[in-house]
Amino acid sequence: MKIAIVLAAAYLICLVSTRMASGAQDAKYFRGASATRPATRWEEAFLTGNGRMGVMMFGNPYDETVVLNHCRLYLPLGSREIVPDLAPFFHEIKASALKAGKDGPAVAHRLMTQQAGAQGLRGTTPTDPFHPAFILRLKMAGNAEEVKNYRMTEGFETGELVVRWTDDRGDWERKIFASRPDNVVVMSIAGPRGGVGCELGMDISHALVKSEISADKEWLTSHCVYVKGKGGYDSAIRVTAEGGKIESGEGKITVAGADRILLIMRVDTWKTPLPGSDAWAYSPKNPEFAKAPKTNLLADIRESLTNLPADYVKLFTPHARAHGELFKRVSLDVGGGEDRKVLTEELLDRAAKTNAFTPALMERMYDACRYLIICSSGDVVPNLQGIWTGTWKPAWSGDWTLDSNLQLEIQSMISANLIEFMESYFRLVESW
């Protein structure tokens, strides 16, 4: 009961006591989450995103897993997309439901199902599930048991994930962000001079996706076609290194003897009409298909990535400015004080032991929720997974649920002064 009361109070504070950021929290405190031990599964990964692509990073530093997502990736299951016309039966169904009294809802559902079945609908039609674009496996030489001073951070003000650790060879650092201005995911891998190396490989494994993964010189790419139609998607990773040697083969890229490694990544989708679909997005009648759609975007992606500077700082600076402007629009100060310096893990442990939230934890939770909304909003409104998934079978397909989930997301956008993200909701509805 105590936690419920505190949560309710925090919720009200978030709604009515937020104000335009003006130094409400001292700038000397890190605004973000941190961990001193690696996550072992995707559900515990640290997250970032640019509203179109999402990034999840977890695993020990010598065997890191990076999951890339895209907001428009939904796996076609081959369901027949029928929108039954029940308007002619409205009055009949309504009258029968009212006559049935307390059994009215069940009667209405039965009659609607009967009429829909007569038009070809066969029971509940599963929606296409949200799925990952690919899983990037990053392997480095080293023993996880020898890792010292491990720290992973998720910067709410910049959208940057950073992993730092030390071993007998020296200090290591891995950073990643999803750029809003350039629509790319950028990763930097740094360590002892001349001693940075890794093996990079893509994993796309599903029976309903025909994937072609290729490693050629500094490029790791994948071309994916949905077996059940509706199109597919393409992904490319440009790999550059300061010093050292890059080799490719058998769908993998290996870098050895470098000072620093840089990865620039992008996922893009393409779609094709689905004959017989009543869903407007894939209907052959949709004007989007007036011209034959492109069914392979790799050349376009590669050209675009080639034109970007292979420089982490040059790519990060404009992104941090754009992301930071969104995050700093509001700030919550409930007196977190010196506890703002405490690691997230410790704040959560305290809450579990005392059955109470500290002011610092309330502030961090509010910041975390705003951070997730910012990272997952832009192209289309966030789904049940936000913009992240590490499974091909998310609960409720990871799609959009229109009872209260979507409404709560929109409420968060408004209370966080992110009004322009409402456009993503409008685009989604209009696409239907």
Give the architecture (CATH level 2) of 34-75+128-311.
Distorted Sandwich (2.70)
Half-sphere exposure of 348 (CA within 13 A, CB side): 8
pLDDT at 23: 40
Spatial CA neighbour of 242 closest among 201, 202, 199, 188: 188
pLDDT at 425: 87
Distance (Å, whole) CA 291 – CA 252: 36
Counting as low any pLDDT under 70, the low residues of the chain are 1-27
pLDDT at 15: 40
pLDDT at 27: 57
List the domain boundaries for the chain: 2-31+323-431, 34-75+128-311, 87-118
220 close to 298: Cβ distance less than 8 angstroms = no
Beta-ladder partners of 196: 258
Distance (Å, whole) CA 363 – CA 429: 33
pLDDT at 252: 96
Indicate left, alpha or beta for 243 from its phi (over 0: left) and psi (-120 to 50: alpha).
Answer: left
Distance (Å, whole) CA 250 – CA 201: 9
Indicate left, alpha or beta for 224 from its phi (over 0: left) and psi (-120 to 50: alpha).
Answer: beta
178 close to 375: Cβ distance less than 8 angstroms = yes
Q: 239-262 burial by CB neighbour count: b if 16+ within 10 A, else e?
A: bebeebebebeebbbbbbebebbb
Using the structure block, give the residue that is written with the tokens 């990763």.
187
Give the orientation angle of helix 422-431 with respect to helix 405-415, to 10 degrees.
Answer: 150
Q: Which helix (H) or strand (E) holds 427?
A: helix 422-431
Spatial CA neighbour of 428 closest among 71, 55, 69, 49: 71
Q: 124-138 burial by CB neighbour count: b if 16+ within 10 A, else e?
A: eeeebbbbbbbbbbb
**Any alpha helices (H) in 307-343, and if so which ranges?**
312-327
Residue 386 DSSP code: B
Largest Cα span, the chain: 81
- Both tokens of residue 120? 């070809």
Distance (Å, whole) CA 120 – CA 113: 10
Q: What DSSP string describes 63-97? A: EEEEEEEETT-B------------GGGHHHHHHHH
pLDDT at 26: 55
Distance (Å) of CA 245 to CA 48, 139, 192, 200, 377:
30, 16, 16, 14, 38
**Phi/psi of residue 300, each to 5°?**
-65, -45
pLDDT at 360: 92
Distance (Å, whole) CA 168 – CA 190: 15
What is the percent of the chain where pLDDT is above 90? 70
243 close to 194: Cβ distance less than 8 angstroms = yes
Q: What DSSP string describes 153-206? A: EEETTTTEEEEEEEETTEEEEEEEEE-TTT--EEEEEE-STT-EEEEEEEE---
Q: Which three-class secondary structure state does DSSP give residue 51?
A: coil
**Phi/psi of residue 150, each to 5°?**
-70, 135
pLDDT at 430: 82
62 close to 139: Cβ distance less than 8 angstroms = yes
Spatial CA neighbour of 113 closest among 125, 101, 105, 121: 121
